[in-house]
Amino acid sequence: MVSSASKSPRIAPLVDSRQQRVAKNEALFRRVNERIEEINETLAGDSESDFLCECGNDDCTSPVSLTLAEYEEVRRDPTHFLIAHGHEVVDVRTMDFEEAFDIILCLYVLEHVFELDDAVRSIHRALTPGGFVVIAVPHLYPYHDEPTDYWRFTEHALRQLLAPFDTIQIKTRGFGKMPLALLAIARKQGGS
């Protein structure tokens, strides 16, 4: 006889494998940094020490120089992690930058963004006058990172999306009228 407990469905975790991997790496680097902190307490007072970036990338070992007090300030909130400059992952829809970048690379991201207009507005706002955005998107490509793989783009769709930009160049990779991917380079008006 089979018990009813063995027939119950398994509940899938709410966190996908990438999020699990990032969280595992963040936790590992946090433990390493806590050990560094213990050593620093015995050796130094207000001098800076190198801590490991806690960005979650499994191959990142970038040092971040902070005093022990500065590191403690970061650790005060368990949801905050010590991230090296340039390792931040920002949400392209809501990033809060004003004319901060001369160039933005947005490579194989937009197919995962449901709110495309918000993303393009944020990118445009974040570029300096005369700045460039380089966008790569799939066309004929298998679904990936489901369920957040929303779009496949044509040249015409990219031109419409990038209409706020001054100049737009689009190149295709693949087979004539059946491209595998598209590359768009768009320039924000202004600058020299």
- Residue-level pLDDT at 14: 54
Q: Which amino acid is at 44?
A: A
**Are 132 and 62 part of one and the same domain?**
no
Residue 45 pLDDT:
60
Residue 83 falls inside a structural domain? no
Question: Which residue range(s) make up the domain with 40?
Answer: 17-75
Check which CATH number belongs to the domain holding 177 and give it. Answer: 3.40.50.150
**What's the pLDDT score for residue 34?**
81
10 in a domain, yes or no? no
Amino acid at 37: E
Omega of the bond prior to 13 within 30 degrees of 0, cis? no
Q: Is residue 3 part of a domain?
A: no
Q: Is residue 95 part of a domain?
A: no
Angle between helices 17-43 and 68-75 (to 10 degrees): 150
3-state secondary structure of 65: strand
Q: 49 with 116, same domain?
A: no
pLDDT tens digit sequence for 108-145: 999 999 999 999 999 999 999 999 999 999 999 998 88
Whether residue 108 lies inside any domain: the answer is yes
- The DSSP H or E segment spanning 80 is none
φ, ψ of residue 102 to 5 degrees: the values are -80, -30
Same domain, 71 and 105: no
Q: Where are the alpha helices (DSSP H) in 1-154?
A: 17-43, 68-75, 116-126
Domain count, the chain: 2
Nearest to 129 by CA among 190, 42, 58: 190
- Tell whether 108 and 71 lie within a shared domain: no
Neighbouring C-beta atoms of residue 60, cutoff 10 Å: 15
pLDDT for residue 10: 47
Instruction: Tell me, yes or no, whether 118 and 177 share the same domain.
Output: yes
- Tell me which of 41, 57, 75 is where a domain ends: 75
Cα 95 from Cα 124, distance rounded (Å): 11
Low-confidence ranges of the chain (pLDDT < 70): 1-16, 39-45, 192
Q: Is residue 116 part of a domain?
A: yes
Does the residue 159 lie in any domain? yes
Any domain includes 36: yes
Same domain (yes/no): 126, 169? yes
User: Please, what is the end-to-end C-alpha distance for the chain in angstroms?
Assistant: 79
> Do 71 and 110 fall within a single domain?
no
Which pair of structure tokens corresponds to residue 4? 């009813």
What pLDDT is stored for residue 11 in this prediction? Answer: 46
In a shared domain, residues 107 and 181: yes
The strand pairing partners of 173, in sequence order, are: 181
Q: Which two tokens stand for residue 21?
A: 């991997």
